[in-house]
Amino acid sequence: MARRVIISGGGTGGHIFPAVAIANALKELAPDTEILFVGANGKMEMEKVPAAGYKIVGLDIQGINRQSLWKNIFLPVKLVKSLLKAKSVIKSFQPQVAVGVGGYASGPLLMMAGKLGIPTLIQEQNSYAGVTNKKLGVKAAQICVAFEGMEQFFPADKITLTGNPIRRPSVAIEGKREEALASFGFDSTKRTVLITGGSLGARTLNRCLQAGLDKLIAANIQVIWQCGSYYYESLNGSLNLPTSIQLMPFIQRMDYAYAAADLIIARAGAGTISELCVVGKPVIMVPSPNVAEDHQTKNAQSLVQKDAAVLIADSEAEDLLIDALLALLSDADRMTSLGQEIKKLARLDADRVIAQQVLDLADKK
């Protein structure tokens, strides 16, 4: 009999990419597995998941708005409606396992699955577990984590250190350096820096680049600057950039960007870190301060403790980042050491390891 699995969560690419990677791995290991996604209405998973070839059902759920408390007035009603919808979806689909990857829909779906006796698996991507996952972890059958030391949040006997699922095509950089540099119109004899704020962009990183352009140009540095679609029009219209500075809203070929780079500047989302570990290039991390429990800073600190990355606080980045970047590029030994240490943390097969645990739980049901 075909196994049936519900995968819930989303809200950002950092949740959606791992969810789809787990689904793809399930299909590789057990092609007859039936998979249903559950997401939040109005969030990007409602488009990205069908584009990846999977069915998805939306819950009318939202997160807590900490900036405007009055916008939370309907949250209790939405939670009750989402729980009832989740119950209906579970009874209709009859899964053997429910998987939560984080995001608004993950809480109601896994809560209801637990009440209905469905084994649950949590995929915790960050080094600091959020409130919802900590509560869900009490009843979860299995908890797959990406960082060491997660016993402070979850029962130790349920934890498996798997790493985060990654987009394999994005990190397939072997032997691509020359063609990657050519695709950006870059000179292979010059040093190249990749600066990425994720699909939405990062205001702080963009401001750092604007302020430091003259220094980068004077130092003859080539830059791949992924600024985010929200910022692209205003930046492109106001800056007169040389060909050595390539500004783009979104990078379609991340493998080329990673392959071309000698040094990478990035936020510290869990998915980004997992990719950077596999890529094995020196990294300066500027964690976003606009996330729950400041988990990006904690993610970055977990690398810094292993001497596998440099951390610059968002509040200090405009003053320090460009000078730190230039100093690091001139320190060949430090560049080599950072690349070697971050590579040691790479876990390429997390998607398959997690998928196998899902299948094992389904077979026990």
Residue 167 labeled ligand binder: yes
Residue 14 labeled ligand binder: yes
Residue 229 labeled ligand binder: no
Which helix (H) or strand (E) is 159 found in, with range?
strand 159-161
3-class secondary structure, 88: helix
Opening angle at CA 353, ends 140 and 117, nearest 5: 25
Task: Name the token pair of 283.
Answer: 């990294």
Task: Name the token pair of 263.
Answer: 């040094």
DSSP class of residue 193 equals E
Instruction: Give me the helices (H) in the chain, please.
Output: 13-29, 45-51, 75-93, 106-115, 131-137, 177-183, 203-218, 229-238, 254-260, 270-279, 295-304, 317-329, 332-343, 350-364
Evaluate whether 329 touches 335 at the Cβ level (below 8 Å). Answer: yes
Residue 126 labeled ligand binder: yes
Residue 251 labeled ligand binder: yes
Distances (CA, A) of 179 to 187, 220, 232, 309: 11, 20, 25, 27
Residue 164 labeled ligand binder: no
**Residues placed in the known binding site for UDP-N-acetyl-alpha-D-glucosamine:** 12-14, 126, 167, 199, 251, 296
The annotation places the binding site at: 12-14, 126, 167, 199, 251, 296
